[in-house]
Structure 1
Amino acid sequence: MKQHSRNAWLLSVFLVLAGVFQSAAADKVYMASLEWPPYSGAALPDQGAAIAVAKAALEAMGHELVVEFYPWSRAVKLVQQPNSKYVAYLPEYKYETEDFQFSEPLGEGPLGLVENVSKPITWEQVEDLERYRIGVVQDYVNTKAFDDLVAAGRIKVEAVGTDTQNILKVAAGRLNAAVIDSNVMAYLLANTPRLKSVSSKVRMNNRLLEMKDIYAAFANNAAGAKWREILDEGLTKIDAGAILDAHMGASK
């Protein structure tokens, strides 16, 4: 075999083997989520703004993210099951827990209160909300100060399954207000047929509870730690803010 032919053959073998090893190293990563547009949603571009960031970060590390959608409480519980194929759920706010470990932030969202236009609420500090009846979504994390007062029985809340239900209750005057991300509210009012008739009756209160960072919550085990580290490294290789902004605009 001539030298140049042998070199070409060796190069071909090397490229084939490199492709095999790269394919072997690339994994499909499974996470659970919920319908929470514009941050997550099965029918949204790239399944929503937060998921788009996570997908880009893992793609930058050579992996593919597969997200499957469930009711929120089920999505969280699926990650906790022994030998679950889901290494994490998203999007989530960070909170004190021994069950999960959190990624670096995927983005942020403004958490506030939806109120009835004809009966606005006034408050300066979270303790002032004790005089109102507030809607929350079952098993959602809100803010530590708010949730601590709820746990102490000082803030009266009603828990429902979705943000849409809370908006309808506030519009009907059955709640004084409800906790909601303002981006979520804007999306729901613009895209949910059953909310069209009440869109003029509700608005965001002018005071935010908190600007909340959004995370992926990984199982608190070795697999979770491995994939959290990979996602975190991937986040350093992308412009998460630009991806988030682009998808928030595309979801409106």
Structure 2
Amino acid sequence: MRTAKLRASLLSLPLLCTPAGAMELSSLEWPPYSGAELPEQGSLSHLLHQALATQNEPLLIHFQPWSRAIRSATTEPEIVGYFPRYFANDNLCLYSDSIGTSRVGLAVRSDISVRWDKLEDLAQYRIGVVRGYRNAPEFDALVADGTLKVKEAASDELNLLKLVYGRLDAAVIDEQVMHYWMADDPQLRQSADKLAFAPQLLAEPTMHVCFTPGEAGEQARLQLNRGLQQVAQSQASGNGNVGR
């Protein structure tokens, strides 16, 4: 609670604290990918900082609840986009180049065999999802039309705890996010033998920065993409110090 209050107070500081000319993005607490108190603000945040450093562009990330992070990118002029967003064929975003891939699957109880040939087969199970998150397009469509009944929670961590205590049979989650919480949360660490990540994936989407449509968003997208390309080229040549 103290951490949440501190973060909120930091985010409410006047823009005098913003580095001059910084690109501003919003994101959420989604370890290990993004988070205000993670090392280097998480792996995706670190990549974005690296990429923009090649363009001599500082980056300021506002960490907020997910629904607010999305809303900020369209209501606060200084924020030009948010991340991470799974790619979709829509006109809601100007998508950056890929910043990673998410292995989306099911965390399951080790004592229950969760099997499916088609997604409709999952209707017999109690499945947890995180409120406001996209999952897999076909899975989300079946939830929307009522074929699949899901239980919403505020976080991946809470869904995993519900699994441990038998309140769910499965939970939709990114594999790396599951590994993080199983190592970081004391209760989950002690219950590691009770949970597993199902080998059959729901989807493996690429992750992107969603820039707000418009001139400012397009300029920011092009700048980030140039930086991402330079980081990739540097890594390919074995120079891991780019942008640091």
Instruction: Name the TM-score, length of structure 1 as normaliser.
Output: 0.81
Aligned to 1:63: 57
Query: 1:96 and 1:178 mapped to 2: Cα distance?
Result: 26
What amino acid is aligned across from residue 33 of structure 2 in structure 1? Answer: Y
Q: C-alpha offsets along residues 191-226 of structure 1, whole Å, 9 cap, x if unaligned? A: 122423332211111211122211111112221111
Change (3 A) 1:240 1:154: farther
Of 216, 223, 228, the match for 2:221: 228
**How far is the alpha carbon of 1:241 from its aligned partner?**
10
Please report how far the alpha carbon of residue 240 of structure 1 lies from its aligned counterpart in structure 2 after TM superposition.
8.4
CA distance 1:122–1:242, shift in 2 (3 Å): farther
Distance in 2, matches of 1:59 and 1:27, equals: 12
SS of aligned partner of 1:77: helix
The within-5 A match list for 1:111-122 is: 111-122=104-115
1:161 to 154, 158, 170: 154
Name stretches of at least 5 consecutive residues in structure 1 with no aligned partner: 1-25, 244-252
Q: Which moved more, 1:195-204 or 1:102-111?
A: 195-204
**Aligned with residue 31 of structure 2, among 25, 37, 55:** 37
Quick check: 1:107–1:240 contact (8 Å CA) kept in 2? no
* Inter-CA distance 79–130: structure 2 relative to 1 (3 Å threshold): same
Alignment counterpart, residue 45 of structure 2, candidates 30, 51, 55? 51
Q: How many residues align?
A: 217
Aligned CA RMSD, in angstroms, stands at 1.9
CA deviations on 1:64-90 (whole Å, 9 max, x unpaired) are: 111121111111111111x43211111
Unaligned runs of 5+ in 2: 1-19, 237-244
Partner of 1:129: 122
Q: Partner residue of 1:249?
A: none
Q: How far apart, in 2, do the equivalents of 1:114 and 1:120 lie?
A: 11
Q: Distance in 2 between matches of 1:120 and 1:88?
A: 41
Q: TM-score, normalised by structure 2?
A: 0.83
Higher alpha-carbon Rg? 1
CA distance in 1 between partners of 2:84 and 2:233 (Å) = 14
Matched, 1:215 2:224: no
Structure 1 residues 181, 174: CA separation in 2 closer, same or farther (over 3 Å shift)? same
2:143 is equivalent to residue 150 of structure 1: yes
Read off the aligned partner of 1:183 and give its amino acid letter: Q
**Cα–Cα, structure 1 residues 51 and 190, in superposed 2: closer, same or farther, change >3 Å?**
same
How many Å separate the matches in 1 of 2:77 and 2:31?
Answer: 25
